[in-house]
Structure 1
Amino acid sequence: MKAPEFAAAQWSRATGAGVDPHEYRRVTDGLGSVADWGPAFVRTGHAYLRRAENAGSPASAGEHLLTAARWFHLATLAPYAEAGRAAAEADRALSRALNALEPTARRVSGEGFTGWLRGPSDAPGTVVVVPGLDSAKEEFLGLVSALLARGLAVFAMDGPGQGVLAATTTLRPDYEQVVGRVIDALGVARIGLVGLSLGGYFAARTSALEPRVAAVATVSGPFQLDWEQLPPPVRDIMARRAGGADAARDFARQVALAALAPRIAAPLLVVDGGEDVIPGVTNGEALARLAPRGTYLSVPHGDHLLGNARPDWLPHLTDHLTDHLTHTLRGAPA
Structure 2
Amino acid sequence: MSAQELAADRSAAKLAAARFAAAQWTRATGAGVDPHEYLGVTDGLTSVADWGPSFLRTGQGYLKRAEEAGSPVSAGEYLLMAARWFHLATLAPCAGDVEGGKQAEAHRAAVEADHALSRALTVLDSGARRVSGDGFTGWLRGPADAPGIVVVVPGLDSAKEEFLDVVSALLARGLAVYAMDGPGQGVLTATTTLSHAYERVVGRVIDALGAPRVGLVGLSLGGYFAARAAALEPRVAAVATVSGPYRLCWEELPEPVRDIMVRRAGGTDPARAFARHVDLAALAPRITAPMLVVDGDRDVIPGVTNGEALARLAPRGSYLSVPHGDHLLGNARPDWLPQLSDHLTRTLTGAPAWTP
- Give the alignment's TM-score, normalised by structure 2: 0.92
- Listed as ranges, the matches of 1:211-290 within 5 Å are 211-290=234-313
What's the secondary structure of 2:28's corresponding residue? helix
Which residue does the alignment assign to 1:169? Answer: 192
Q: Does the residue aligned with 2:162 lie in a helix, a strand or coil?
A: helix
Aligned identity (percent) is 80
Map 1:26-105; keep pairs closer than 5 Å.
26-79=40-93, 80-81=102-103, 82-105=105-128
- AA in 2 matched with 1:22: H
Per the alignment, in what secondary structure is the counterpart of residue 163 of structure 2? helix
Equivalent in the alignment of 2:27: 13
CA distance in 2, matches of 1:296, 1:198: 17
Q: 1:31 & 1:4 partners in 2: Cα distance?
A: 8
Distance 1:207 1:34 in 2: 38
In structure 1, how many angstroms separate the alpha carbons of the residues matched to 2:166 and 2:86? Answer: 19
Residue in structure 1 matching 2:138, options 98, 115, 124: 115
Structure 1 counterpart of 2:28, one-letter code: A
Q: Map Cα deviations across residues 25-66 of structure 1 (whole Å, 9 max, x no partner).
A: 000000001110000000000000000000011000000000
Aligned-partner Cα distance in 2 for 1:22–1:203: 34
Which runs of no fewer than 5 residues in structure 2 stay unpaired?
1-14, 94-101
Shift of 1:308: 0.1
How far is the alpha carbon of 1:18 from its aligned partner? 0.1
1:147 shift after superposition: 0.3
| AA aligned opposite 1:127 | V
Aligned equivalents of 2:270, 2:211: Cα separation in 1:
34
1:152-231, aligned counterparts within 5 Å? 152-231=175-254
Task: Choose from 125, 148, 157 the match for 1:134.
Answer: 157
- Stretches of structure 1 that go unaligned for 5 or more consecutive residues are none
Q: Deviations over 1:265-291 (max 9, x none)?
A: 000000000000011000000000000
Deviation of 1:139 (Å): 0.0
Within 5 Å, give how 1:144-155 maps onto structure 2. 144-155=167-178
Give the residue type in structure 2 aligned to 1:115.
G
**1:327 Cα shift?**
1.7
- How far apart in 1 are the matches of 2:30 and 2:180? 18
Amino acid at match of 2:211: V
Per-residue deviation, residues 111-141 of structure 1 (Å, max 9, x unmatched): 0000000000010000000000000000000
> Which stretch shows the higher mean deviation, 75-84 or 26-35?
75-84
Distance in 1 separating the partners of 2:201 and 2:303 = 26
Aligned-partner SS, 2:241: strand
Q: Distance in 2 between matches of 1:104 and 1:118?
A: 7
CA distance in 1 between counterparts of 2:87 and 2:27 reads: 12
Q: Secondary structure at the match of 1:137?
A: coil
- Give the superposed CA RMSD: 1.0
CA distance in 2, matches of 1:188, 1:289: 29
Distance, in Å, in 1 between the alignment partners of 2:229 and 2:285 is 13
Q: Which digits, 9 at most, give the CA deviation of each residue in 1:193-239, with x for residues without a partner?
A: 00000000000000000000010000000000000000000000000
Secondary structure of 2:24's partner?
A: helix
- The reply to whether residue 317 of structure 1 matches residue 331 of structure 2 is no
Structure 2 CA distance for aligned equivalents of residues 182 and 247 of structure 1:
24
For 1:275 and 1:78, how far apart are their aligned partners in 2? 23
- Determine the C-alpha separation between the residues in 1 that align with 2:56 and 2:348: 38
What amino acid is the match of 1:44? Answer: T
Q: CA deviation at 1:6?
A: 0.3
Q: Secondary structure at the match of 1:143?
A: helix
Alpha-carbon deviation of 1:78? 1.1
| Structure 1 consecutive aligned stretches of length 4 or more whose deviation exceeds 2 Å | none
TM score, norm. by length of structure 1 = 0.98
- Within the alignment, does 1:297 sit opposite 2:320 as a pair? yes
Q: Provide the rounded CA distance (Å) in 2 between the counterparts of 1:214 and 1:325.
A: 7
